[in-house]
Amino acid sequence: MIECGRFPAKRTVGDTMNIEAAVFADGHDSISCRVLHRFEDETHWNFLPMAPIGNDWWQATLRVLRTGRYFYTVEGWIDRFKTWRADLKKRIQAAQDLEPELIIGAGFISQASERAAGVDAKQLEKWSEAVRQGNIDIALSDELFAAMQAWPDLTLATRFERELTVWSEPVKARFSTWYELFPRSASGDPSRHGTFQDCEALVPYVAGMGFDVLYLPPIHPIGETFRKGRNNTPQAEPGDPGSPWAIGSREGGHTAIHPALGSLADFQSLVSRARASELEIALDIAFQCSPDHPWVHDHPEWFRKRPDGTIQYAENPPKKYQDIYPLDFETPQWRELWAALKEVFEYWIEQGVRIFRVDNPHTKAFPFWEWAIGSIKEKSPDIIFLAEAFTRPHVMERLARLGFSQSYTYFSWRNTKREITDYFTYLNQAPLRDYFRANLWPNTPDILPETLQVGGRPAFMVRLLLAATLGANYGIYGPAFELVENTPRAPGSEEYLHSEKYELKQWDIRSGSSLRDFIARVNRIRRENNALQNDHSLRFHETDNPNLICYSKTADDPGNIIVVVVNLDWAHTQAGWVTLDLSAMGIDDSRAFEVQDLLSGSRFLWSGPREYVELTPLSLPGHILRVRRWARTERDFDYFL
């Protein structure tokens, strides 16, 4: 129950949700309770019995089977028949006279037959007569008890006062692998602007590394006024392409395509080509406008004005963004503005886009997101929204409650064992884990962390291993990542030198030093192991070396158990002992077990919770270990090999 039911919980298709409630009554009578649930297009309730788990707590497990909204609540009642049945067993043990009790029980059953329908009503009436005649076997039978539970006496029932909601989203909301690519650099020639057709040619490259989401920065016309130059200089030189986030020119705004990229038909072809390779196109939505955007001329009332009447450009002091105007979500004409912004999403949905990465949603009105996302999901429940919200925790969490399917996180700045352990323990606590889904990015066009700047190739491998195994959702900005691009604009800066945000780039994706094979191997491991496709099972384990971090994940199917050990020191070999909480992973600590390193293919026989690990960052900075089989003795292991 998120904020007393104010917001929905989240699941993806096929997931389960444990619903618990404290249900109790005065006196000593037995009680029963159930979950009432229905999909949004159903008019009747379905019933799911709850089972006691101790101390007046009851639980039921609901599985969501399709995208959309499920409603649910809890109902409990005094169960006279259950009380009578329990007392009857005691009377039998005490050898008491049962005839009066059987008559009372027969009355309960007869009343249930009047509530029942069809064959149940007739069967209950037969059982009532049999119990009245003294048939104790029927009185205590499981068949009768199940029928009585199906047709309860709800005279003294109490129903929770609120109908709660769970949003069921596509599986990609829980498990996805993102690759960010600037289409304008897709040509491979810095003198020629890339096109959607060039992007199509790169689809096999991206899909071959195991990514399933191809994320494109804004594809719209770019303004000329105050266009930014290379390295974010305030003055553009002739031929500088400007920032894709300075959206809008005389060619159009948020529903237009940059002419150099191609036509709408070309974009639709890219969407189809990507989907044929099991890639979904994710589109960047940035609600801001260049001074040349048509809205600036047609709807000046949608922007804030300075005292001199000119439109206020974007600022984050001391930074100035003269090439973009922020929209005023508090304008008196907010209804018209909000409708226009929602129509932007709807337009691209019509073109086949199912995933949106939303730029800086925390700088826009919260009520807008709740309304817009809710309205869109009512018509298209399979749409996924990623919040690019590098902001304060409460703000990020609020956006998730308002409807965003996923969110960027602080992972880029969590490097030490303590930082990583504390942060991901926090992300996996209730109720946050029921609505907030982390998407982990080692780098972005805006963020080149110091770790990558100084750690070189081993640091890139370490950060990818962490992102891909700590999180079920992760992404990289490429080809900068696989080509180990790590030169900052200036010391202490997280901006790239010669950032692709302000110029066309040439990437040698065939470079022999590329990490593409390593990335492909990690992504294949993710696809083949369900344990790595969830976040809720993440558990950290002890190590005696602060440079080694160890954690595990398990699938809902207990047959898939993954243990990850990573060397956080990209410059030196590190060794130490890990101590696994075997019982938490469902492993019998009295038997030896085999693990296979899915990265190297090596197999090890482990016995007991404590094992020695040594990792060299220049060769392989981590293990992704799958528990492969149980072994009674070392001879069993030798025979298996």
Note the pLDDT tens digit of each residue in 294-324.
999 999 999 999 999 889 888 878 777 889 9
Tokens encoding 280: 């979904």
Instruction: Compute the average pLDDT of residues 146-161.
Output: 94
Grade residue 190 by pLDDT with cuts at 50, 70 and 90: confident
Looking at residue 641, its pLDDT comes to: 38
Q: How far is CA 44 from CA 65, 68, 71, in A?
A: 17, 17, 11
Bond into 558 cis (ω within 30): no
Over range 521-537, report the average pLDDT: 97
Is the pLDDT at 331 greater than 60, yes or no?
A: yes
Closest CA to 498 of 190, 265, 120: 190
Q: How far apart are CA 76 and CA 12, in angstroms?
A: 28
The per-residue pLDDT for range 218-257, each reduced to its tens digit, is 999 999 999 999 999 999 999 999 999 999 999 999 999 9
Nearest CA to 596 among 520, 518, 528? 528
Kindly state the percentage of the chain with pLDDT values over 90.
91
Neighbours of 103 (CB within 10 A): 12
- Cα–Cα distance between 328 and 302 in angstroms, integer? 6
pTM summary value: 0.94
Torsion of CA 26, 27, 28, 29, to 10 degrees: -70
- Estimate the share of the chain in helix, then strand, then coil, as percent rounded to the nearest 5: 35, 25, 40
The reported pLDDT for the residue numbered 638 is 44
- Minimal CA–CA distance to 602: which of 641, 545, 546? 641
Spatial distance between the Cα atoms of 575 and 599, rounded to a whole number of angstroms? 18
Q: In the chain, what are the domains?
A: 1-79+155-169 (2.60.40.10), 170-232+250-528 (3.20.20.80), 536-640 (2.60.40.1180)
Residue 627: both structure tokens together: 């528990």
For the chain, what is the mean pLDDT? 95
Burial 267-295 (b: 16+ CB within 10 A, else e): bebbbebbeeeebbbbbbbbbbbbbbbbb
Burial profile 47-69: b = 16 or more Cβ within 10 angstroms, e = fewer: ebebeeeeeeebebebebeebbb
**Cβ contact 465:563 at 8 Å:** no
Distance of CA 521 to the CA centre of its chain: 22
The pLDDT score that the predictor gives to residue 449 is 97
Res 127: pLDDT? 96
DSSP H helices in 351-406: 366-379, 393-402
Mean pLDDT of all residues in 492-505 = 96
Segment 134-155 mean pLDDT:
95
Catalytic residues: 359, 388
Q: Identify the pLDDT of residue 588.
A: 84
Report the SS3 class of residue 263: coil
Answer yes or no: are the C-beta atoms of 120 and 127 closer than 8 Å: no
Instruction: Return d(Cα 110, Cα 129) in angstroms, integer.
Output: 8
Distance CA 73, CA 157 (A): 13
- CA dist 355 and 350 (Å) reads 12
| The pLDDT of residue 112 is above 70 | yes
Residues 6+ apart with CB under 8 A from 531: 537, 553, 554, 555, 560, 561, 562
Is it the case that residue 558 has pLDDT exceeding 80? no
Mean pLDDT value of segment 608-628: 93
Give the pLDDT confidence of 20-77 residue by residue, as tens digits: 999 999 999 999 999 999 999 999 999 999 999 999 999 999 999 999 999 999 999 9
